[in-house]
């Protein structure tokens, strides 16, 4: 860290500007020895030096106000030092350290600028924060028939070749062998169009320096899930086949669930009850059976390892969900609880919620010292769960897509979402969605019945299940 004082010492010592030779009227000449001592004292403030002067590390004039420069990151990288104290007019330098396969997406704050891995602030006039966002060198998103692939042009070249394939390619030479095709891209982004809906695709990059990325896998989405109700009822509420005479137009007569019940649903990518379609994902990002093997009883192999079940992908919506772990010492333990916290005034509905345990109305319990939703998201992203660092708190709509309303306690497919047992209370799982009419509340989904409930942001007894991707 380098802190550079930039104030003129003549501003701090007005006598330096006037000079020692311009004494005011009435000045009584002192003996030479006394005058010499006075001169030395003033010289230490006029560009001179003394054994107690600052060495440029923020010490400066002890009488000046001390300002603080804090730092904040998105995870997936570090910044040193974490904070500095200095005086008005000084500057500070910070060293940025992206994680492997990541780059510095943005760096801002305190009037500074970024050069390579060094961020230097402007001259500080008030306490401020340097904010740094790190991002993966490659990423991708999907719609129903398109896949858009992004790459960092500082990590890779501007011009690249891109392989898109229905199976994982080992390298660019292997692209056509697994049924893929190669397209050229430039500018850091390329979109593949005309793809099959509801289908997994792998994308691999090779740049002009023969540098290759790791394959990224994602699924073209098909929209929202059905409700899970594949039956009809009569006036007494008795479940039976569809249709029921005299009670037409019921949920169980239409949609993916009805097609699955009648054997008319197109082949699923994975499996699931009714019209749901899920695939298990190992800790390394591979699909079970296509790069890892979870065996005949996957629930016995839940964890973070390369050959452990860590995530579940919804092949209908394109979303990927974290899988909870039955281990109270694990970060993703199913029983951990959190308060709702989001300091972004543009999205928090008028209240940031509660950050620290001492502020929470009902105590939260988690692995760590800050049991709030934001801290949990950052912790999981730092782990790059299932090979990704873009995990987020789900919207209420996202959570609704998991609800199987044809079942109760729990209203979710336990074959693909094990360890859901502790979510079976009247409240539920936090969403990112604040309540419009109550700034102190946010929406949750209760998997006892699959219905939406409201929660106070300060209640630390509710759970979290993270998601990545967009519907």
Write the DSSP assignment of 174-198 as a string of letters. Answer: GTGGGT-EEEEEBTTEEEE-SPPSS
**Radius of gyration of the chain from Cα atoms?**
30
Q: What is the pLDDT of residue 221?
A: 66
Give the residue from 76, 8, 89 showing the smallest Cα distance to 45. 8
Please state the separation of Cα 134 from the chain's center in Å.
Answer: 10
- Distance set, CA 160 to CA 104, 140, 141, 213, 285 (Å): 20, 15, 18, 11, 24
Phi, psi of 381 (to 5 degrees): -65, -35
Q: pLDDT tens track of the chain, all 471 residues?
A: 344 333 333 333 333 333 333 333 333 333 333 333 333 333 444 344 333 333 333 344 444 689 999 998 877 789 999 999 999 999 999 999 988 778 888 899 999 999 989 999 999 999 999 999 888 788 887 777 888 999 999 889 999 999 999 888 989 999 999 999 999 999 999 999 999 876 778 899 999 999 998 888 776 765 779 999 999 999 988 999 999 999 999 999 988 899 899 988 877 889 999 999 999 999 989 999 888 899 999 999 999 888 999 999 998 888 999 999 999 999 999 989 999 999 999 999 999 998 865 566 666 888 877 789 999 999 999 999 999 999 999 999 999 999 999 988 889 999 999 998 644 455 589 999 999 999 999 999 988 888 898 888 988 888 999 999 876
Residue 152 contacts residue 93 (beta carbons within 8 Å): no
Please state the separation of Cα 329 from the chain's center in Å.
Answer: 22
Q: What is the pLDDT of residue 227?
A: 93
133, β-bridge pairs: 106
Spatial strand order of the sheet with 83-87 comes to 83-87, 66-73, 128-136, 102-108
Residue 371 contacts residue 338 (beta carbons within 8 Å): yes
67 vs 88: CA distance, rounded Å: 7
Residue 291 contacts residue 214 (beta carbons within 8 Å): no
Q: Which bin fits 58, alpha (ψ -120 to 50), beta or left (φ > 0)?
A: left
Listed in sequence order, the DSSP H helices in 312-433 are 373-383, 396-400
Residue 70 contacts residue 103 (beta carbons within 8 Å): no
Q: What is the pLDDT of residue 42?
A: 38
Instruction: Give every CB contact of residue 156 below 8 A, 6+ residues apart in sequence.
Output: 137, 138, 205, 207, 211, 213
Q: Which two tokens stand for residue 39?
A: 């001169």
């Amino acid at each position: 860290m380098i802190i550079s004082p930039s104030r003129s010492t003549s501003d701090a010592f007005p006598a330096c500007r006037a000079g020692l030779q311009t004494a005011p009227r009435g000045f009584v000449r002192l003996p030479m020895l006394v005058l010499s001592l006075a001169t030395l004292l003033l010289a230490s403030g006029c560009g001179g030096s003394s054994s107690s002067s600052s060495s440029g590390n923020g010490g400066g004039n002890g009488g000046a106000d001390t300002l603080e420069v804090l730092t904040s990151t998105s995870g997936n990288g570090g910044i040193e030092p974490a904070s500095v104290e200095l005086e008005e007019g000084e500057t500070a330098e910070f060293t940025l350290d992206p994680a492997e396969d990541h780059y510095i997406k943005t760096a801002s704050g305190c009037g500074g600028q970024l050069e390579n891995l060094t961020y230097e602030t402007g001259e500080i006039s008030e306490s401020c924060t340097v904010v740094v966002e790190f991002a993966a060198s490659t990423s991708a998103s999907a719609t129903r028939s398109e896949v858009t692939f992004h790459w960092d042009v500082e990590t890779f070249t501007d011009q690249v070749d891109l392989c898109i394939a229905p199976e994982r390619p080992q390298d660019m030479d292997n692209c056509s062998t697994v049924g893929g095709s190669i397209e050229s891209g430039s500018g850091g982004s390329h979109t593949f169009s005309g793809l099959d809906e509801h289908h997994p695709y792998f994308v691999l990059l090779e740049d002009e320096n023969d540098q290759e990325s790791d394959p990224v896998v994602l699924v073209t989405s098909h929209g929202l899930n059905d409700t899970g109700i594949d039956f009809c009822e009569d006036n007494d509420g008795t479940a039976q086949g569809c249709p029921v005479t005299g009670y037409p137009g019921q949920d169980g007569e239409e949609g993916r669930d009805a097609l699955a019940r009648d054997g008319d649903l197109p082949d699923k990518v994975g499996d699931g009850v009714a019209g749901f379609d899920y695939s298990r994902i190992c800790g390394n990002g591979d699909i079970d059976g296509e790069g890892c093997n979870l065996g005949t009883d996957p629930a016995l192999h839940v964890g973070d390892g390369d050959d452990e079940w860590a995530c579940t992908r919804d092949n209908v919506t394109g979303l990927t969900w974290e899988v909870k772990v039955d281990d109270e010492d694990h970060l993703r333990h199913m029983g951990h609880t959190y308060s709702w916290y989001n300091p972004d005034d543009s999205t928090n509905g008028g209240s940031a919620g509660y950050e620290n345990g001492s502020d929470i109305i009902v105590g939260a319990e988690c692995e760590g010292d800050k049991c709030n939703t934001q801290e949990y998201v950052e912790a999981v992203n730092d782990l790059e769960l299932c090979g990704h660092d873009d995990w987020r708190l789900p919207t209420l709509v996202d959570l609704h897509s998991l609800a199987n309303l044809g079942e109760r306690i729990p209203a979710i497919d336990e074959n693909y979402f094990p360890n859901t047992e502790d979510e079976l209370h009247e409240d539920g799982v936090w969403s990112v969605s604040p309540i419009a009419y109550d700034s102190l509340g946010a929406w949750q989904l209760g998997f006892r019945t699959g219905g939406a409930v409201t929660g106070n942001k300060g209640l630390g007894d509710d759970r979290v299940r993270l998601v990545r991707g967009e519907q």
